[in-house]
Amino acid sequence: MKTPSSSTLQDETYQTLRQWLSLGRWLPGERLKIKQLAQDMAVGEMPVRTALQRLVAERALANTPNCGVTVPQLTRAQFEDILQMRMLLEGEAAERGARCLGDAERAQLKELCKTMEQAIRDEDVKHYLRVNEDFHVLLYRAAGSPLLLSLIETVWLHVGPISNQLHQDLHVWATMNDCHEDMLQALDRNDPAAVRRAIERDLFSAGQYLKSLCR
């Protein structure tokens, strides 16, 4: 039976790797080396190995013959399925969240939007993705449904790696904040349905480019 300390360490390692995957720390097809990950997190290899297998079981990672654990490379059909689920789940969370956001949360969303705009100008995709996640989580958490947020975060595991390539097309990259600004304007009008449409457009617009990168 696991001791509480070992169980906690394994859970923390899993959550860290899960977040790194969602934020696009690795690219599709990249091999994840247990020893290197253990060094990066200053933990033993066993909790890393256990966490990786949990992510494999969730199909967020893959066991590749003669290679070990790798980041999956999505087909266009797989990506399209994921995109449709994102629009369904995140659109619902956005509309619900828009009805419940307080003034402080609205102000925070505006600051995060400004930070994303600066990240775009700096061509800092990793910082953009981190702040983009904070922006969306803040909006979705306001919906008051932990289950809905959990489902969304699970779907994010599958698109984090490919999202790391958003900046490869400068035209696409320059427009990455447009829908967020539209969403904030809809919030100012107290129009939850328009907030939903803005988030759906955000996902769809980026998705059309990312789908072209799939095999």
Q: How confident is the model over 46-74, as a mean pLDDT?
A: 93
Verify that 60 and 141 share a domain, yes or no: no
How high is the pLDDT of residue 119? 94
In this model, does residue 60 exceed pLDDT 80?
yes
pLDDT per residue as tens digits for the range 160-212: 999 888 888 888 899 999 999 999 999 999 999 999 999 999 999 999 999 99
How high is the pLDDT of residue 2? 45
Which of the four pLDDT bands, split at 50, 70 and 90, describes residue 4?
A: very low
Q: How deeply is 214 buried, as exposed, middle or buried, from its count of CB atoms within 10 A (0-12, 13-18, 19+)?
A: middle
Integer Cα distance of 104 and 170 in angstroms: 33
Which of the four pLDDT bands, split at 50, 70 and 90, describes residue 3?
A: very low
Q: How confident is the model over 23-47, as a mean pLDDT?
A: 94
Verify that 164 and 143 share a domain, yes or no: yes
Which of these ranges, 53-62, 78-87, 161-170, has the smallest mean pLDDT?
161-170
Verify that 146 and 41 share a domain, yes or no: no
How high is the pLDDT of residue 88? 98
Integer Cα distance of 84 and 50 in angstroms: 31
How high is the pLDDT of residue 1? 39
pLDDT per residue as tens digits for the range 117-140: 999 999 998 899 999 999 999 999
Residue 69, classed as helix, strand or coil, is strand
Last residue of a domain, one of 29, 55, 70: 70
Q: How confident is the model over 32-49, as a mean pLDDT?
A: 95
Verify that 117 and 185 share a domain, yes or no: yes
Taken as a whole, the chain contains a residue count of 215
Range of the domain at 96: 76-212
Last residue of a domain, one of 18, 39, 70: 70
How high is the pLDDT of residue 170? 83
Mean pLDDT, all residues of the chain: 93
In this model, does residue 6 exceed pLDDT 80?
no
Last residue of a domain, one of 70, 91, 124: 70
Integer Cα distance of 17 and 70 in angstroms: 13
CATH number of the domain to which 144 belongs = 1.20.120.530
Q: How confident is the model over 17-39, as a mean pLDDT?
A: 93
How high is the pLDDT of residue 5? 55
For the chain, give percent helix, strand, coil, nearest 5.
75, 5, 25
Verify that 129 and 156 share a domain, yes or no: yes
In this model, does residue 65 exceed pLDDT 90?
no
pLDDT per residue as tens digits for the range 100-116: 999 999 999 999 999 99
Verify that 116 and 170 share a domain, yes or no: yes
Give the pairing of strands 68-70 and 62-64: antiparallel
